[in-house]
Amino acid sequence: MPLNDAYGRVITKMRISVTDRCDLRCTYCMPAEGLQWLPKAEILSFEEIVRILKVSTELGIRKVRLTGGEPLVRSGIPTLIRMIRELPNVKDLAMTTNGIQLAQFAPALAEAGLDRINISLDSLDRDRFHQLTRRDAIDRVLEGIRAASDVFPGRVKINAVAMKGVTELEYKAFAELAEELDLIVRFIEFMPLDAEAKWVAGDVLTGSEILAGMQKHVELEEKPFSDVHSPAVEYRFKSGRGGVGFINSVSQPFCESCDRVRLTAHGRLRTCLFSIQETDLLPIIRTGSEEELGRVLTQCIWNKEEGHQINNPDFQRSDRPMSQIGG
Ligand code: SAM
Ligand code: SF4
C-alpha cells in the first residue's frame, strides 16, 4: 500500500538533511553568527539514514534528495550516496547544494551514483553575492556549476531565491547564464524561514512578476512545460538552449499536490516545510524495530498538514530556520 495522507495525496519523496552546518550564511536562511548547532551525538549516522530510507522505500518513498545545511560540508557524502544506491526502490537520487565545494566533489558524486543536482545561486554580481551570503565566494560557485554541468549534463538546475529589490537586477545575467550552460534557472519565492525572522510579505517577488521581467530580456516558449520531479512551472527559451522556472510557494501554493516529507539531520520527520510539530525518529532508529519505524512513518504521513498557512493572518512560524530543516 502506498504512503497516503488523509487528503488523498500519495507521498513518494523524502528530503534528507545530512547536516545543519554550512559554509555560507545566506541572509534569508541563517544569522551571521550565533546559531546553535544541533548536538553532534544526535546527528544521524549514514547507517541510520539508510535504515530510515530502507523502511521508507519499502513503504513507498521513491525519490530522495540530500540537502542541509550544506550537504557537502559533511564528510563522506559520496559514501552515503553509494549506500543509498543499494536500496532497490530509490528511483531518483538528487542533491541541493550551494556549490561552494562542487568543483572538487562533482566527479565523485556522479561516480557514486547521484542522478541530479540543484545548485543555489541568487546573484551573479560579486558584491551582491557577498552581501547575500556574507561570503566573497561567487567564483567558487561558478566553478562548481561548470564542473557539475560537465559530469551531470542536462541534469543541473540553478535555484535562486527571489527577493524584491534584488532579483530584478539579475534577470539579464541569469538569462545569459542559462543560455550559455543550457540549463534551467528556477526562481523560488522568498519564504518565512529565515533564522532572523525578518521576512515580510512585501519582500516576496512573485513568479509572475519575474516572468514579466524576464520576457524583456529573453524570448520564452509560450507554453510552460512540466517537470514531473518538481512543483516548478518551467519555460524554455526560444533559442532552444536554457530556460527559466518558477516555484511560487507563496503566491500560488502547490500544497494540494505536495508529495514530500523531510527528515532533519537529527532524525525529526517533518511532513511540511512549515510544520510546527515534528516526530522524533531518533529513539526509534536507535532502540526500536523496523516495524515500529514503519508504523510511525505511516501514521505521521497520514497526518500530513493540508497546506501551509503563510498567507493566513494567524500563520505561525516554525522555530527552525531553513538550514535546520533541509530545503
Ligand atoms: N545549502 C544548500 C543550498 O543552499 O542549496 C542546501 C540547503 S538550503 C536550506 C536549500 C534551499 O533552500 C536553497 O535553494 C536555498 O536558497 C533555499 N532557501 C533557504 N532559505 C529560504 C527562504 N527563506 N525562502 C526560500 N528559499 C530558501
Ligand atoms: Fe547555507 Fe543553503 Fe542556508 Fe545558504 S541557503 S545559508 S547555503 S543552508
Amino acid at 230: S
pLDDT attached to residue 319: 81
User: From the CA of 138, how far away is ligand 2's center (Å)?
Assistant: 14
Instruction: Give all domains of the chain, ordered by start, each with its CATH number.
Output: 13-325 (3.20.20.70)
Of 161, 205, 248, 310, the one to substitute when testing ligand 1's pocket (max ligand atoms within 8 A of C-beta) is 161
Largest CA distance in the chain: 58
**Count of CB atoms situated within 10 Å of the CB of 180:** 12
Is 133's C-beta closer than 6 angstroms to any atom of ligand 1?
A: no
97 contacts: CB under 8 Å, gap ≥ 6 = 67, 70, 71, 72, 117, 118, 119, 120, 144
Amino acid at 264: T
User: How do residues 165-196 score in pLDDT, each as one tens digit?
Assistant: 999 999 999 999 999 999 999 999 999 888 88
SS3 assignment, position 156: strand
Of 24, 29, 109, the one to substitute when testing ligand 1's pocket (max ligand atoms within 8 A of C-beta) is 29
Is 191's C-beta closer than 6 angstroms to any atom of ligand 1?
A: yes
CA pair distance 37, 280, nearest whole angstrom: 17
Residue nearest to atom 8 of ligand 2 (CA): 69
SS3 assignment, position 268: strand
User: From the CA of 241, how far away is ligand 1's center (Å)?
Assistant: 26
pLDDT attached to residue 267: 97
pLDDT attached to residue 318: 80
Is 161's C-beta closer than 6 angstroms to any atom of ligand 1?
A: yes
Residue nearest to atom 2 of ligand 1 (CA): 97
DSSP per residue, 180-240: HHT-EEEEEE--S--TT----GGGBPPHHHHHHHHTTTS-B-SS-EE-TT-S-EEEEBTTS
Do strands 116-120 and 156-162 pair parallel, antiparallel, or not at all (unpaired)?
parallel
Residue nearest to atom 4 of ligand 2 (CA): 26
Burial category of 178 from C-beta neighbours within 10 Å (exposed 0-12, middle 13-18, buried 19 and up):
buried
Taking alpha carbons only, the member of 204, 318, 185 closest to residue 252 is 204
pLDDT attached to residue 317: 80
User: From the CA of 19, how far away is ligand 2's center (Å)?
Assistant: 11
CA pair distance 155, 148, nearest whole angstrom: 9
Strand order in the sheet with 116-120: 225-226, 233-236, 243-247, 184-189, 156-162, 116-120, 92-97, 63-67, 13-17, 260-263, 268-270, 279-280
Q: What share of the chain is helix, strand, coil (3-state, %, to 5)?
A: 35, 20, 45
pTM of the model: 0.96
Is 28's C-beta closer than 6 angstroms to any atom of ligand 1?
A: yes
User: How do residues 220-230 score in pLDDT, each as one tens digit?
Assistant: 998 888 766 67
pLDDT attached to residue 227: 67
Taking alpha carbons only, the member of 91, 135, 136 closest to residue 116 is 91
User: From the CA of 26, how far away is ligand 2's center (Å)?
Assistant: 5
Ligand whose nearest atom lies closest to the CA of 25: 2
Amino acid at 45: S
Average pLDDT per 10 consecutive residues for the chain, totaling 327 residues: 91 97 95 93 98 98 97 98 98 98 98 98 98 97 98 97 95 96 96 86 93 94 77 93 93 89 97 91 96 97 89 79 86
Ligand whose nearest atom lies closest to the CA of 195: 1
Rg of the chain taking only CA atoms, in angstroms: 19
Write out residues with Cβ below 6 Å of ligand 2: 22, 24-26, 29-30, 68-70, 98, 120, 322-323
User: From the CA of 291, how far away is ligand 2's center (Å)?
Assistant: 35
For residue 327, give the ligand 1 atom closest to its CA. 10
69 contacts: CB under 8 Å, gap ≥ 6 = 17, 18, 19, 20, 21, 22, 265, 323, 324, 326
